[in-house]
Structure 1
Amino acid sequence: MATRTDRLALPKPNLLRFPDRRSVYWLDELPTRSKNISTTAFELTPRLDQLARSKQSSRFFKESRRSPEWMVSAAALKACPSQRVCSLASPRVPVDGWQSDRPLLAPLSVAVKTAKPSPRICNLAQPKRAKMVLTHAPSVDSSTHVFGVPTPPSSRILQLASPKQVHAQHALARPVSGPVPDRVLKAVASESLQTLARPKTRQALFEGYDPYRVSPAARAATASPRLMELSLPLPRKCKSQ
């Protein structure tokens, strides 16, 4: 029996022995075929065999659907239509004054082909030119220009075009680094200011502080009439009993 070292010393197998494979189903060797059985024999369960069969119609089923070829009775073959049926079967007559659609390529008469436009028609056929107001160029005289139409602005437009004036009591923003007066530099804070400036001391949770503890003063406090009035619900939210 080969040891672990002998098996590790063996060369690795060449996995690229068949590099030119056209498909993943390429076989190195053809499978052996049995001489007795030519095709594969499938074995079905009784349930699959039952489901594979076509569904049989019920014995209570009656054919009630007519054939597409209907039989015409002898009375219908020898029937004569009435005047009303004949009038309804006749095509609808167009109304008086109806004219068919004009063809797309209508023939032109000789007079239209040989007609000459008048000077008025030639003038109307010219493209309309837009009027230009040359007021932005001071070196160009708009009065001498063909399309120059000077339009003086109204007093309202001049009023709106003027810049907005600053209010009389407007004060500029105070600079950040402004001068500090001497009385502020020499001011001394009182004891009350020093007391209010100190942060409120509070014990931490690990030091025994209880945030849910209610002081005795809060327990013995009495609400004022104003607080009682504010604590009442709104009348529109109260249900009448």
Structure 2
Amino acid sequence: MPPSERLDILSRPKQLPPGFREDRRSVYWIDKLPPLSGSEGTTAFALNNWQEGLCRAKPVNSAWRGEKPGPIWPVSKAAQNATASGRIEALSVAKSTVPGFTPERPIMTRVSDGAKKATASDRIEHLAKEKTYAPLKIRESFEFDCFIWDQEISRAARNARCSDRLEVLAESKRHHPNFQNARGIQWDVTDSAIKAIATLRLQQLARPKSRGKNDNYDPYRVTGASLHARATPRIEELSMPIPRKIRQKRVGGGAGAN
């Protein structure tokens, strides 16, 4: 096939399928088109009996009389001449208070003459007196070891003997069997510690890190390759600050600035 005929075939538009219909009226995929109603070409609605029943409006109650025209309406003669029943009269009676109920007293009360002329009893006067305490025996520091304290201790307290239980509780707590007193700041080093020899493993750990033949190694020296290194475009892109945080440097203009 010549190239010109091949180009003519490729330039032709794609053919539509046999059942294709332009501008479908339904957005849902269906096996067949719905029935149409009338000349307008709209979709005909098909409802069952249950759906038609749900579409109907709810019927109004037969006893419903609509809303009243306003907050004030005429009262019928029957309502004006009506007589309340015994139950309604019993409910309309105000609730009685408790027999011992007393109303709240005002903030400013009136003191009766009896309260003004009242006299306190001996018991009340005794309770009204403030409590008195015996003065504390305070002695100077040099009097604590004085023999005069022994004269103030009663003979019964001197001859008192405690019970067996108190003696058990008064005993001091024993130390643990493995308890050892604190060592002194300076102590003698034992002969075994002086003549001790480190193991091979300790000698390996104590040996500094080997640098090979380079005995004059300087950890702060930068190699030539590191000095001439260049960052990749991606690293330069990541090292740039965020564009919204970049602030242009403002050139200061004084009195002589143009």
Query: Under TM normalisation by the shorter chain, which class is it?
Result: 0.3 to 0.5
Q: Under a length normalisation based on structure 1, what TM-score does the superposition of the two structures give?
A: 0.34
